[in-house]
Structure 1
Amino acid sequence: MPGALNSMKYDDEFLRDILEEVNVIALVGASAKPERPSHTVMKYLLHKGYRVIPVNPNEAGGEILGETVYASLADVEEVVDMVDIFRRSDAVPEIVEQAIEANARIIWMQQGVVHTAAAKVAEEAGLRVVMDRCPKIEYERLGLGAF
């Protein structure tokens, strides 16, 4: 089975399946600053038809791109399909635990974010995991169309 523990090599079908099945994404580390990569990715994913819920304790209660910001995954009341992590790698284990608790199905760690031990915990809990990739880049590379 392709996954994080398979040398971070993901076949196109694995990534395509994830991007085509996901509807609701919690973007942990979302930023209100337009120059930040997390802002750009959130805007792109919203434009492509995903429901994106920003998670950032420093912005909680405010809005990013018209969406209410939550302090943590535990505060999100909706069912989340995928947790997109825009945080340092050392923050990943706690986020993975919250994602498991929230019944998320996918952990996606952005470029430069890798935590093999947390990925193993997630996969053992039945989640699919992607590390060191960007869903915006993969969406474009795979040529996925609008919903």
Structure 2
Amino acid sequence: MKALLQRVSQASVSIDGLEVARIAGGLLVLVGIEPDDNQRILEKVLHKLLNYRVFSDEQERMNKSLIDVQGGLLLVSQFTLAADTRSGLRPGFSTAAAPAQAEALFEQLVQMAKQRYANVQTGQFGADMQVQLVNDGPVTFMLEV
């Protein structure tokens, strides 16, 4: 699994011009599911998302987590993160999970997040989404578990 974590001052997802999700400050996470992903990996990723220290403390050091600042968590499925880009000029998607598997795991991740944290929003799996964000910092990390 790959999770592109971005600290944002705001982010939203729209589908066909209709806003379906919005957070103020917090984390926008683009999630790429790979064929070998499983429950254990979901647990590890979610633990990192909620506890990764990417928010500033009083000394302007990244020492606070999403839980500490009580920000929003916006999860967006993005299969292109799992693409194989090592050769050629066109990405290959054999390294991405099959759609049915990816959807099931992504929905499981969303449900786990909602059970552990109050402020969780999400896009819609497989939809053509427009994602808007204001990256705060900018602060962006690629989490690979």
Q: Give the TM-score category using the shorter length.
A: 0.3 to 0.5
Normalising by the residue count of structure 1, what TM-score does the alignment of the two structures yield?
0.34
Normalising by the residue count of structure 2, what TM-score does the alignment of the two structures yield?
0.35
Larger strand fraction of residues:
2
* Structure with max Cα Rg: 2
- Larger relative contact order, structure 1 or 2 (CA cutoff 8 Å, min sep 6): 2
